Amino acid sequence: PTHQPLARTAGIRLDVEWAEDAAWRRTHKEPYLSWSDFQQTRDKGFNRPFFTYILLVVCTAVLIASYGLNGWKVEPLNINPMVGPSAETLIRMGAKQTSLIVNQGEWYRLFSPMVLHAGLIHYFLNMTALWFIGKAVEQCHGFAAAAILFIIPAVGGTILSAIFLPEYISVGASGGIFGLIGACVADIFINWSLLFSKHVNASDEGVRFRHLKVLLWLLFDIVINCLIGLTPFVDNFTHLGGMVYGLLCGLSTIERLSTDFFGIATTFWTRLRNLLIRFSGLILSVVLIMITTALLVENDAGKSPCSSCRYVSCVPFPPWAGEDNKWWYCDDCSRITADAKLDASGYYSLSMTCPDGAIEEIDLSDQLVTDRQWIRKQLPSYCRKYCDNLFA
């Protein structure tokens, strides 16, 4: 849905460029191009969205490789609802995992997740959004602008995810796509007066409704993607962080169109102002990435500064299932350890270390447990039953 308001600004920009081309041809006594001929010239040669094409090819190749590394099979839906490979395979392919980034120095994991996907569903949704939004942005603003609006938000969002969700692995081009959505928002607000002006619209009738419709489409698209961010291997810190970075970069890289004349003002002061605005947004984005990277390095790789923030990106599912039968959880009980005490009749006691470090003694004498693996599988359930604090 986001491509609809963006396509509207793209159409206006095309009209502006056509008018500028006509003015240049009139000055140089060159023959005019019809609107349709001018549009065709823009869709040929180097005006095509090559960055978007490259991303589509790379993401497709990496998805196929991840299935191959996973033995050409998919995990059960209660493990990976995106119809994709296992968590171990995604980690081997370069998924974001904070402990590997900070402790092992695998900093490439800040970049590699932007071309990885959790499965077919995740891939299809992201590539559809990339095709519409990425192509429109690139054809309007060029290869370099599209690359900036995708890569910087993707990396910035991944860093925020590594800080606030260190216990989760995550993948996806969503951070970059949300960066493009942020740029769409920036484009709409920068050119609001032109986008909904009487010069562009045949009449003033329904303008308020169009304003609301554009914002509702954007909100709908953001909500849908944030709901997807509540599932495993996808996270909303990457999404929302990417959108903030995309908004900042968009305010710098997207050009403001004049409402007084179909053309860009070229006075010295106007060019200087536009240049300062453009650099300020990009500089702020880079500074924020440097600050958050420093925080990531200084922070304990296994501890989030806000444990309850995980619920921004995780909801236990399905809600109707019992506490011991959910597909996934949002606590730290999957990482706990325990010491089991054994006698001739079997394991009779369990000393369990809760996520916050507290020790809980569990009596197993009435259960006659002899299988150590069974106990290992029950540890998360014991954690949720006996521990007061479920977060590290």
Residue 169: in which H helix or E strand, if any?
none
Residue 199's pLDDT is 56
Helices 236-253, 143-164: crossing angle, 10 deg rounding: 150
Of 152, 109, 124, the C-alpha closest to 59 is 124
* Token representation of residue 135: 């192509």
Radius of gyration of the chain from its Cα atoms, rounded to whole angstroms? 26
Give the three-state DSSP class for 341. strand
End-to-end CA distance of the chain: 39
Residue 2's pLDDT is 47
- Residues with catalytic roles: 174, 239
Residue 157: in which H helix or E strand, if any?
helix 143-164
Residues 379/384/389/390 CA torsion (nearest 10 deg): 70
| Cα 360–Cα 362–Cα 365 angle in degrees, nearest 5 | 160
| Measured distance CA(51)–CA(143) in Å, rounded | 6
Neighbours of 167 (CB within 10 A): 21
Task: Report the Cα 293 to chain-centroid distance in Å.
Answer: 17
CB distance 228 to 125 below 8 Å: yes
CB distance 55 to 173 below 8 Å: yes
CB distance 2 to 217 below 8 Å: yes
Give the three-state DSSP class for 63. helix
Residues 6+ away with beta carbon under 8 Å from 193: 259
Pairing mode, strands 337-343 and 359-363: unpaired
* Token representation of residue 350: 């369990």
| Measured distance CA(289)–CA(373) in Å, rounded | 44
Amino acid (1-letter code) at residue 250:
G
CB distance 51 to 143 below 8 Å: yes
| Measured distance CA(167)–CA(303) in Å, rounded | 8
Distances (CA, A) of 6 to 45, 152, 215: 23, 20, 11
Mean pLDDT of residues grouped by 10 in the chain (392 residues)?
53 66 77 72 74 96 97 92 94 94 94 96 93 87 92 96 91 94 84 64 54 72 86 92 94 71 60 74 92 89 77 85 82 86 87 90 86 88 89 76
CB distance 231 to 224 below 8 Å: no
Task: Report the Cα 66 to chain-centroid distance in Å.
Answer: 19
* Token representation of residue 15: 């009209």
* Token representation of residue 136: 């429109």
What are the φ/ψ torsions at residue 200 (nearest 5 degrees)?
-95, -40
**DSSP conformation letters of 69-122:** HTTS----TTT-TTS---HHHHHHHT-B-HHHHHTS--GGGGTGGGG--SSHHH
CB distance 209 to 203 below 8 Å: no
Residue 1's pLDDT is 45
Neighbours of 386 (CB within 10 A): 14
Location of structure tokens 């309850």 = 308
Residue 121's pLDDT is 94
- Bridge partners (DSSP) of residue 317 are 328
* Token representation of residue 187: 């484009």
Helices 236-253, 268-298: crossing angle, 10 deg rounding: 160
* Token representation of residue 111: 């970049």
